[in-house]
Amino acid sequence: MNKRSSGWWQAVTSGLIVLVLIFSPLAAPSLAADNAAATPTDAAKDSLNRLLAGATPMGIADLKAMQAHVRSLTDQLMKCTVGVEVGQAQGSGVIISKDGYVLTAAHVAGKANRTVHFFMADGTKRDGKTLGLNRTLDAGLMKIDDASDLPFAEMGTSNKVNEGQWCLAMGHPGGYQSDRKPVLRLGRVLAIKGEESITTDCTLVGGDSGGPLFDMQGKVIGINSRIATSLTANMHVPVNTFQETWDRLKKAEEWGHYPGQTPWLGVRGEEGATEAKLARVDSDSPGEKGGLKAGDIIIKFDGVTITDFSSLSAEVQKCQPGANVPVEVKRGEEIIKKTIKIGRKE
């Protein structure tokens, strides 16, 4: 089968699986069309495992086997998927511990220590707060207040994800709706970019952001992040990102900037200085427009004490372009307060 016909067959089988999932009777069929045994044979199990790893279904029996498997996971995965409301923004999240830690997208959380309303799959509403944010990779952590013994999904290992393998995306497209459960999308992994992103053909729309991407064993392998140039190319934050930065996220640290939104102050530090002393302020930069001058020593930036130029750079990287940031400057013996509008690096 050539590459073009292979792609055509994969598209057809993906569509057939969706149709089978929608239109088949609710009773889950056996793994083989003519096999009446209640327990699948070893051969049937091996066949199903190959399918879930990315093999192309070759007939109705394969489609029914996948359908039965997806149905066996769906109820539990729905219980773990929550609607999220932060201010006026709505998105999704997934509970990954019985005491209520929730993975989401950084752009859904917005900032640390904000109030969150969580909408559970059974329609109940619970409160919590946002924790840490890795804006560069769009990873965010939240926590449900006073939680115990909640249903949760186990985190998988995203660095073992393979192109072509089947996956399941869940979320609340358009935002949480009380008369609708979380929506499930079946698809395949299209591409993997290290720890930066997983791309799938599980269609996402507004409101799905922050929802989980599961492997076919029901483990979280990613978090819905954004739509690429096509609705059929959707990006997810690899779950390993959360695991590797868990302590920082749990402590409500914020770092990085959203893709394409690199913050810019336009200053240079004096080489060898033990303080954040400015050697240069670029012409027409946010720093110049905000009143900074060469020789100034930055002592506070957005309420954070600045000890050297590296700590200043780190705080600038936490900002979003367009934000108005209070800055305290030592100029000679005088302490001056400024407000600087952060720019965007072109």
* pTM for the full predicted model: 0.73
pLDDT score of 47 more than 60: yes
pLDDT bracket for residue 346 (50, 70, 90): confident
62, 69, 138, 172: which one is catalytic?
138
For the beta carbon of residue 316, count every other beta carbon within 10 angstroms.
23
pLDDT in tens, 189-233: 999 998 889 999 998 988 999 999 999 999 999 999 987 667 677
Quote the tokens at residue 50. 């190959």
| Residue 3: pLDDT over 80 | no
pLDDT tens string 133-179: 998 899 999 999 999 999 999 999 998 899 999 999 999 999 999 99
Q: What pLDDT, on a 0 to 100 scale, did the predictor assign at position 226?
A: 84
Q: Has 138 been annotated as catalytic?
A: yes
Asked whether the predicted pLDDT for residue 1 surpasses 50, the reply is no
**Category of 289 on φ-ψ map: left (φ > 0), alpha (ψ -120 to 50) or beta:** alpha
Residue 251, CA atoms < 13 Å, CB-side half-sphere: 7
Structure tokens given for 267: 């200053």
Q: Is 127 exposed, middle or buried (0-12, 13-18, 19+ CB in 10 A)?
A: exposed
Question: How deeply is 194 buried, as exposed, middle or buried, from its count of CB atoms within 10 A (0-12, 13-18, 19+)?
Answer: exposed
Query: Between 3-23 and 60-80, two packed helices, what is the crossing angle to 10 degrees?
Result: 60
Rounded Cα distance, 26 and 88, in Å:
38
For residue 227, the model assigns a pLDDT of 75
CA 240-344-334 angle, to 5 degrees, is 110
Helix, coil or strand: residue 230: coil
Coil, strand or helix: which one is 15? Answer: helix
Q: What is the pLDDT of residues 69-126, one digit of tens each?
A: 999 999 999 999 999 999 988 999 999 999 999 999 999 999 999 999 999 999 999 9
Q: Quick one: pLDDT at residue 229?
A: 66
Confidence grade of residue 33 (pLDDT, cut at 50, 70, 90): very low
Q: Which residues contact 13 (CB under 8 A, 6 or more apart)?
A: 56, 57, 63
CA 329 → CA 266, 278, 296, 316, 342, distances in Å?
16, 10, 6, 15, 16
By DSSP bridging, strand 324-331 and strand 81-86 are unpaired
| pLDDT band at residue 39 using 50, 70 and 90 as cut-offs | low
Residue 228, beta-bridge partner list: none
Q: Is the pLDDT of residue 16 over 80?
A: no
Superfamily of segment(s) 263-344: PDZ domain (2.30.42.10)
Q: Percent of the chain beyond pLDDT 90?
A: 67
The active-site residue, picked from 209, 236, 257, 296, is 209
- Which residue spans of the chain are classified as CATH 2.30.42.10? 263-344
